[in-house]
Amino acid sequence: MAFKGTIVIDMEKCKGCDVCVTGCPNSCIALSKKVNKKGYNYLEMLNEDSCIGCANCAVICPDGVLEVYRVKV
């Protein structure tokens, strides 16, 4: 059974610590080259098709800025 996932990122609260990026098994997230109002490079999805909704990124995020959604395909 396959799963498709997506994440919602609170870009203004993200401080760009990069912890979630190392926890992603499919390398579908990365820090943006753009910055938020606080001057941090925030998280963005690179490849939505490879996200399986495992929620590793949300679990490991120290600031809780991620919401993960997952559906069966």
Provide the pLDDT for residue 57.
Answer: 96
pLDDT of 52 reads 95
Per-residue pLDDT tens digits for 13-66: 999 999 999 999 999 999 999 999 999 999 999 988 999 999 999 999 999 999
In the predicted model, what is the mean pLDDT of residues 7-17? 96
User: Of 26, 44, 27, nearest to 35 (Cα)?
Assistant: 44
The distance of Cα 49 from the centroid of its chain, to the nearest Å, equals 13
> What fold, for 3-72?
Alpha-Beta Plaits (3.30.70)
pTM of the full predicted structure? 0.87
Measured distance CA(70)–CA(41) in Å, rounded = 26
